[in-house]
C-alpha cells in the first residue's frame, strides 16, 4: 500500500476525502485524537501564558489598573531610540554578511566538496554547543582594538551564532534543486561564477535565503549576552537595564519588540512575494 | 508537409547562415577517477558540420568525453582541439559550446523566452536584440507559443526542446547532447529525435551526441563512435559499423548477434555443417578457437521434423518476428516474416541455414550463453 501514500496526500491537499478501495478504512482512534488535543493545548498554554502576562503587565500602572502610560512613555525614554536603531543596524549588517558568506560557501561545498557537508554540518552546530560567554570573551581577547571599539564586532559574532540556522536552511534549499546541472547549464551558456550565483542560484534559493534572513534577524533582535558583555546597549540590553527603573515600560518595550519582529518578518515575506509576483508578471508580459 | 511543419524548417534555413560547424579533435584523452580510467587514450576527429554519436555501455567513458569537451572535466592526459585551437586553458564558459543535458536543466526561475535568451544576456547583448533572437529560436523548435511558460508548466518533451533552443541560441561552435532523450517516453523521443536531426542538418552544426541506445545512434548520426573501457573501439558510418565491425566488442554491441562455436578451416569456418568464408579475418587475426557471430537476418530456418533445432521463444517485432532456435546447446536468434512465423509453434523442429555471404568471428567465450528473443 506504500504506493498509495502520495495519492492520498494529494487528495488531502485538494481538500477531497481519500478513497482507498479494497481495504476497509481504519477506525479512527478517539484516544489518540484526545491526546493530540491535550498536547496541543498544553503547548499553547505554555507559549501564550507568558505573552498574556507580559501584555497584561504592560497595560497596568503601579496600582494594578489598566493604563496606556507605559506604551505612551516608551519613545521619550533615555537611550531607547539609540538602542533600537543599533539593533536594527546590527540585524541588517549581520544578515548581509551571513548571506554573502554562506550562499557561495554552501554552494561551493555542494558542488565541489560534497564529502565536506558532514564536516560543515558539525562545524556549524558548534556555536550552539559553545556557551556565548566563552565565545564573546574569546573574541574580545583576540579582536584588534579598532574592531573592539566598534559595535559591528557584534555582527561578526552574530554571523557565527546564526550559522547553525542559516547553513541548514541553505543546505536544504540547495539539496532541493539540481544544482550541478543548473550551474553547468549556466556555464556552458557563458555564465561566469558571479552571474551564475546571481541569476540562477540565488533566485532558486529564494525560500531558503528568506528563511535564513528571518532567522538571522530574529536572533540579532533578541540576543542579550554578547551585547551586554561587549558593553553595547542593544534593545535587549536596554530592556534589561531599564527594567530596574520601570518594569512596566521595560515589559511594554519587550512586547512591542516581539510584535515588531513579527511585523518585520511579515513585511519581508510580503515584499518577497510581491517581488516574485512582479517578476513573473514582467516576464509574462515579454 | 503543412504550413505549421514548414515554419520551423524555413526559419532554420534562414538562421542556418549564422552557424558555422567547427572541426573537433580529441587527442589521446586520459581521465582517471580513483582506480578507474574513464578515458584511456580516447581519440576521435570530427569534421565541421558532422553529427557524431558516442555509443557504448554504461561506464565506457562517453559522457566523460563529452564533459571534457565541454570543459566540465579536467584532463589527466591528452588534448582537445576545436578548429585547431587547443582548449586546455579555455574554461567552460568561454568555449562557445551549447549543451543539452540528460536531466531537465532549464532555469526554474525563468520562463521559456528568458531561458533561451540567457546565453545571449551573458554575451552582453541588448535586451531587445536578445529577446528577438530568442523568440526566433523558439520558433525554430516549434514552441513560439510557449514563450511565457515556466519550466514547471511544460512537459518533459517541451522542456528538452526549450533546452535545445537555449543551446542553439548562442550559435555554438559545437552542439553537445548528453542523452537528451533518455528521460522521455517513446513517442516524444521519436519525434524529438527527428527534430534534432532535421535541425542539425539544416544548421550544419557540428554535433556530438552521447547515448547508450544504439537505435538512436544508428538512426541519427553521420558516424557512430563505439566506446569501451575509455577507448574508441571503432568510428564509422552506421552501415559500416553494422556490416563490418572492427572488433568483436563492436560486433556484439551493435545490433543483435548469436554466438555459435565453429570449427576453423584456413580462412573459412564451418557453421551448422556449412562452410563459410570469414568476414574481416585480418582484423581479428589468426584464432584457433572462435565463435561465429550471426545476425538474425544471416540465418534462415525451415520447418523440418528431422531438423536439429527447435523453437523455444518468439517475440513479435511488427513486420518480423524474432524466434530463438535451440540448436544443441546453442540458442540462435532468427528473424522471420511475421506471417510465416504465425505458422511456427513453440517446440517446432526446424533446420537452420546460414544465408549470408560470409560470417563474423570472435574469440570463443567459455561461459554458456542463454538468451530470450
Listed by number, the residues of chain A in 191-210 with a beta carbon closer than 8 Å to a beta carbon of chain B are 191-192, 195, 199-200, 203-204, 206
CA nearest to B220, candidates B177, B263, B163: B177
* Residue A246 banded pLDDT, cuts 50, 70, 90: confident
Residue A3 has pLDDT above 80, yes or no: no
A193: closest chain B residue by CA: B93
Q: How far is B231 from chain A (nearest CA, A)?
A: 25
* Residue B370 banded pLDDT, cuts 50, 70, 90: very low
CA distances from residue B249 to B58, B257, B368 in whole angstroms, order as listed: 14, 11, 18
Question: Which grid coordinates belong to B156?
Answer: 518533459
For chain A, give the percent of residues with pLDDT over 90.
40
Phi first, then psi: give them for residue B43, nearest 5 degrees: -135, 145
* Residue B18 banded pLDDT, cuts 50, 70, 90: low
pLDDT for res B130: 92
Global ipTM: 0.80
pLDDT tens-place string over residues A121-130: 898 888 888 8
* Residue A138 banded pLDDT, cuts 50, 70, 90: confident
Q: Which residues of A touch B156 (CB under 8 A)?
A: none
pLDDT for res A4: 34
A2-11, A47-56, A91-100, B170-179: the lowest-pLDDT one? A2-11
CA nearest to A167, candidates A89, A107, A92: A107
**Average pLDDT estimate for B279-305:** 76
Residue that wins the pLDDT comparison between A179 and A14: A179
A285: closest chain B residue by CA: B148
Q: Which residues of B touch A188 (CB under 8 A)?
A: 70, 92-93, 95, 97-99, 167, 176
Residue B328 has pLDDT above 50, yes or no: yes
Between CA B291 and CA B361 the distance in angstroms is 5
pLDDT for res A262: 82
**Average pLDDT estimate for B195-214:** 91
Greatest mean pLDDT range, B215-229, B236-250, B253-267: B215-229
pLDDT for res A1: 34
The answer, for A282 touching chain B at a CB cutoff of 8 Å, is no
Residue B283 has pLDDT above 50, yes or no: no
Residue B366 has pLDDT above 80, yes or no: no
Q: Cβ distance A133 to A225 under 8 Å?
A: yes
Residue that wins the pLDDT comparison between A19 and A131: A131
pLDDT for res B368: 45
Between CA B191 and CA B216 the distance in angstroms is 12
SS (HEC) of A161-224: HHHHHHHHHHHHHHHCCCHHHHHHHHHHCCCCHHHHHHHHHHHHCHHHHHHHHHHHHHHHHHCC
Q: What angle do CA B121, B123, B129 make, to 5 degrees?
A: 55
Answer whether A190 sits within 8 Å of B72, measured CB to CB.
no
* Residue A17 banded pLDDT, cuts 50, 70, 90: very low
Residue A30 has pLDDT above 80, yes or no: no
Sort B22 into a burial class: Cβ within 10 Å, 0-12 / 13-18 / 19+: buried
**Average pLDDT estimate for B153-173:** 92
Counting DSSP H helices and E strands in chain B, the numbers are 11, 20
pLDDT for res B79: 95
**Average pLDDT estimate for A198-212:** 90
* Residue B37 banded pLDDT, cuts 50, 70, 90: very high
Residue among A184, A189, A203 whose CB faces B119 most closely: A189
Counting DSSP H helices and E strands in chain A, the numbers are 15, 0
CB pairs under 8 A between A and B: 85
For chain B, give the percent of residues with pLDDT over 70.
90
Residue B124 has pLDDT above 70, yes or no: yes
Instruction: State which CATH number among 3.20.20.370, 3.40.50.720, 1.10.3720.10, 2.60.120.10 fits the domain covering A70-285.
Output: 1.10.3720.10
Q: Which residues of A touch B110 (CB under 8 A)?
A: 283
The kind and range of the H/E element at B211 are: strand B206-211
**Mean predicted lDDT score pLDDT of chain B:** 86
pLDDT for res A131: 86
Residue A271 has pLDDT above 80, yes or no: no
Answer whether B72 sits within 8 Å of A187, measured CB to CB.
yes
pLDDT for res A257: 85
Between CA B10 and CA A108 the distance in angstroms is 44
Residue among B92, B108, B150 whose CB faces A188 most closely: B92
* Residue B7 banded pLDDT, cuts 50, 70, 90: very low
DSSP one-letter code for A69:
H
Answer whether A192 sits within 8 Å of B93, measured CB to CB.
yes
**Average pLDDT estimate for A174-195:** 93
CA nearest to B210, candidates B178, B167, B241, B180: B178
Domain extent listing, chain A = 23-58, 70-285
pLDDT for res A92: 95
Residue that wins the pLDDT comparison between B197 and A17: B197
A21-25, A33-37, B171-175, B214-218: the lowest-pLDDT one? A21-25
pLDDT for res A9: 38
- Residue B236 φ/ψ region, left for φ over 0, alpha for ψ in the -120 to 50 degree band, beta for the rest: beta
B132: closest chain A residue by CA: A286
Q: Cβ distance B170 to B123 under 8 Å?
A: yes
Residue that wins the pLDDT comparison between B87 and A21: B87
* Residue A27 banded pLDDT, cuts 50, 70, 90: low
pLDDT for res B238: 93
Phi first, then psi: give them for residue B18, nearest 5 degrees: -75, -25
Answer whether A185 sits within 8 Å of B98, measured CB to CB.
no
Amino acid at each position: 500500500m506504500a504506493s498509495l501514500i502520495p495519492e492520498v496526500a494529494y487528495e488531502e491537499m485538494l481538500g477531497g476525502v481519500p478513497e482507498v478501495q479494497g481495504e476497509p478504512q481504519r477506525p479512527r482512534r478517539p484516544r489518540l485524537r484526545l491526546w493530540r488535543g491535550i498536547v496541543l493545548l498544553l503547548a499553547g498554554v505554555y507559549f501564550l501564558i507568558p505573552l498574556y502576562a507580559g501584555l497584561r503587565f504592560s497595560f497596568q500602572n503601579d496600582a494594578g489598573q489598566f493604563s496606556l502610560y507605559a506604551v505612551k512613555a516608551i519613545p521619550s525614554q533615555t537611550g531607547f531610540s539609540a538602542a533600537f536603531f543599533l539593533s536594527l543596524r546590527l540585524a541588517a549588517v549581520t544578515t548581509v554578511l551571513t548571506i554573502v558568506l554562506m550562499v557561495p560557501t554552501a554552494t561551493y561545498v555542494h558542488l565541489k566538496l560534497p564529502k565536506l557537508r558532514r564536516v560543515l554540518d558539525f562545524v556549524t552546530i558548534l556555536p550552539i554547543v559553545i556557551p556565548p560567554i566563552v565565545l564573546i570573551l574569546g573574541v574580545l581577547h583576540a579582536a584588534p582594538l579598532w574592531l573592539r571599539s566598534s559595535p559591528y564586532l557584534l555582527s561578526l559574532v552574530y554571523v557565527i551564532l546564526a550559522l547553525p540556522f542559516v547553513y541548514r536552511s541553505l543546505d536544504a534549499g540547495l539539496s532541493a534543486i539540481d544544482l550541478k546541472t543548473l550551474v553547468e547549464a549556466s556555464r556552458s551558456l557563458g555564465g561566469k561564477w558571479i552571474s551564475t550565483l546571481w541569476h540562477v542560484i540565488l533566485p532558486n534559493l529564494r525560500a531558503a535565503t528568506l528563511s535564513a534572513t528571518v532567522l538571522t534577524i530574529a536572533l540579532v533582535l533578541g540576543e542579550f549576552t554578547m551585547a551586554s558583555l561587549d558593553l553595547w546597549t542593544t534593545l535587549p540590553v536596554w530592556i534589561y537595564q531599564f527594567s530596574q527603573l520601570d518594569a512596566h515600560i521595560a515589559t511594554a518595550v519587550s512586547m512591542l519588540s516581539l510584535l515588531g519582529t513579527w511585523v518585520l518578518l511579515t513585511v519581508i515575506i510580503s515584499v518577497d512575494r510581491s517581488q516574485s509576483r512582479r517578476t513573473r508578471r514582467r516576464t509574462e508580459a515579454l | 508537409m503543412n504550413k505549421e511543419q514548414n515554419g520551423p524548417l524555413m526559419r532554420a534555413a534562414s538562421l542556418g547562415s549564422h552557424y558555422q560547424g567547427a572541426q573537433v579533435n580529441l587527442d589521446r584523452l586520459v581521465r582517471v577517477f580513483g582506480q578507474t580510467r574513464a578515458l584511456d587514450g580516447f581519440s576521435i576527429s570530427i569534421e565541421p558540420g558532422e553529427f557524431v554519436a558516442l555509443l557504448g555501455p554504461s561506464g565506457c567513458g562517453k559522457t566523460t568525453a563529452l564533459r571534457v569537451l565541454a570543459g566540465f572535466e579536467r584532463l589527466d592526459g591528452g588534448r582537445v582541439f576545436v578548429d585547431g585551437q587547443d582548449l586546455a586553458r579555455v574554461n567552460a564558459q568561454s568555449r562557445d559550446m551549447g549543451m543539452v543535458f540528460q536531466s531537465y536543466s532549464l532555469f526554474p526561475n525563468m520562463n521559456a523566452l528568458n531561458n533561451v535568451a540567457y546565453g545571449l544576456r551573458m554575451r552582453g547583448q541588448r535586451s531587445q536584440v536578445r529577446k528577438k533572437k530568442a523568440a526566433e529560436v523558439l520558433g525554430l523548435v516549434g514552441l513560439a507559443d510557449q514563450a511565457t511558460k515556466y519550466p514547471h508548466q511544460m512537459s518533459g518533451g517541451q522542456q528538452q526542446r526549450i533546452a535545445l533552443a537555449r543551446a542553439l541560441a548562442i550559435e555554438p561552435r559545437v552542439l553537445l547532447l548528453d542523452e537528451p532523450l533518455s528521460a522521455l517516453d517513446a513517442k516524444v523521443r521519436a519525434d524529438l529525435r527527428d527534430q534534432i536531426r532535421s535541425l542539425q542538418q539544416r544548421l550544419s552544426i557540428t554535433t556530438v551526441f552521447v547515448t547508450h541506445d544504439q537505435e538512436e545512434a544508428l538512426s541519427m548520426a553521420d558516424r557512430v563512435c563505439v566506446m569501451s573501457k575509455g577507448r574508441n573501439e571503432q568510428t564509422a558510418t552506421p552501415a559500416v559499423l553494422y556490416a563490418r565491425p572492427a572488433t568483436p566488442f563492436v560486433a556484439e554491441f551493435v545490433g543483435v548477434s548469436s554466438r555459435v562455436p565453429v570449427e576453423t578451416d584456413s580462412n573459412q569456418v564451418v557453421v551448422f555443417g556449412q562452410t563459410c568464408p570469414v568476414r574481416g579475418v585480418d582484423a581479428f587475426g589468426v584464432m584457433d578457437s572462435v565463435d561465429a557471430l550471426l545476425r538474425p537476418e544471416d540465418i534462415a530456418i525451415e520447418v523440418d521434423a528431422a531438423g536439429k533445432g527447435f523453437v523455444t521463444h518468439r517475440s513479435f517485432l511488427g513486420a518480423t518476428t524474432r524466434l530463438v532456435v535451440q540448436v544443441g546447446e546453442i540458442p540462435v536468434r532468427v528473424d522471420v516474416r511475421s506471417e510465416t512465423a504465425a505458422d511456427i509453434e513453440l517446440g517446432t523442429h526446424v533446420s537452420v541455414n546460414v544465408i549470408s555471404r560470409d560470417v563474423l568471428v570472435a574469440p570463443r567465450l567459455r561461459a554458456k550463453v542463454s538468451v530470450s528473443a
